[in-house]
């Protein structure tokens, strides 16, 4: 699959050492750069076109993220060479084989404030997937699943 976003990559931007310099976040398949919510010089971007784009003196066009739909690239304003698209395709970091369906027991879904937990038992073990809503569209995940061999996994992820 092609790697793409449905919303501004907030976590990635937050981790960028040059985030305060309005850097290029990526490139569209048509060769135009993708920026955040500000112009490269730090000024407001003004009105964006239907593809979340605006004219650019250096590149011709540039795309931006936005706080309202479509949030990021909606379409491409430039032309693409479909023969070259396979050469820029990003492959998954690791190959994972598909798991087989299993029959579980004691399946439950619990809502407790801003925490959601799906739990179940399989064999003689208990498993779960849980997330808690944090501020700024971030979530704290914790899981112990059959697919992951029962190992505990934790992480904070943001939209």
52-104 per-position pLDDT tens digit: 999 999 999 999 999 888 888 888 898 876 665 555 555 555 666 666 778 89
Last residue of a domain, one of 62, 90, 118: 90
- Asked if the structure places residue 74 within a domain, the reply is yes
Share of the chain above pLDDT 70, in %: 85
Total-model pTM: 0.54
Question: Total structural domains in the chain?
Answer: 2
Read off the pLDDT of each residue in 133-152 and give the average, rounded to a whole number: 89
Q: Are residues 80 and 118 in the same domain?
A: no
**Burial of 64 (C-beta count, 10 Å sphere; 0-12/13-18/19+):** buried
Q: Are residues 33 and 109 in the same domain?
A: no
- Asked if the structure places residue 51 within a domain, the reply is yes
pLDDT of residue 112 exceeding 90, the answer is yes
Q: Are residues 9 and 82 in the same domain?
A: yes
Domain extent, residue 48, equals 1-90
- Asked if the structure places residue 47 within a domain, the reply is yes
Q: Are residues 124 and 150 in the same domain?
A: yes
CA distance 124 to 20: 51
CA angle, corner 11, sides to 90 and 138, nearest 5? Answer: 125
């Amino acid at each position: 699959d092609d790697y793409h976003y449905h919303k501004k990559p907030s976590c990635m931007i937050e981790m960028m050492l040059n985030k305060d310099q309005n850097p290029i976040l990526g490139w569209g398949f048509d060769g135009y750069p993708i920026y955040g919510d500000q112009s490269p010089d730090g000024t407001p971007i003004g009105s964006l076109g239907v593809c979340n784009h605006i004219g650019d003196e250096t590149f011709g066009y540039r795309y931006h993220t936005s706080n309202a739909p479509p949030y990021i690239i909606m379409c491409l304003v430039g032309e693409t060479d479909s023969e070259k698209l396979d050469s820029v395709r990003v492959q998954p970091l690791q190959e994972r084989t598909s798991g087989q369906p299993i029959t579980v027991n004691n399946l439950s879904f619990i809502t407790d404030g801003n925490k959601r937990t799906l739990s179940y038992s399989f064999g003689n073990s208990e498993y779960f997937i849980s997330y808690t809503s944090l501020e700024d569209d971030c979530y704290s995940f914790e899981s112990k699943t059959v697919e992951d061999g029962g190992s505990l996994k934790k992480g904070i992820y943001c939209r």
